[in-house]
Amino acid sequence: MADKKTVKVTQTGSHIGRPADQRATLKGLGLNKLHRSRVLEDTPAVRGMINKVSHLVRVEQGD
C-alpha cells in the first residue's frame, strides 16, 4: 500500500464566476476555499479532474 503514488493539489484560484462543471470538479477534488490542499491518489480520473481545473490549482508530487 505504500507504493501508491499521490499528488498534492492546492486551490489557487477562486471558483466565483466559473462554470458549474468547474465548481463541481473542485468540490469533487475536496477543494472549496482558496489555499486548501488535499493529498490524493494519482489515478487517471484524478488527473483528468486536475486537468479540467488546472488554471485554478497548483499540483505537487506527493510521496
Domain-wise residue ranges, the chain:
6-53
Integer Cα distance of 44 and 63 in angstroms: 17
Whether pLDDT at 3 is above 90: no
Average pLDDT across the chain, whole number? 93
Residue 54: predicted pLDDT = 96
- Return the percentage of the chain with pLDDT > 70, whole number: 97
What number is the average pLDDT over the span 44-50? 96
Q: Judge if pTM exceeds 0.85.
A: yes
6-53 carries CATH number 3.40.30.10: no
Residue 26's closest CA among 46, 5, 6, 43?
Answer: 46
62 falls in which pLDDT band (50, 70, 90)?
confident
C-alpha cell at 33: 476555499
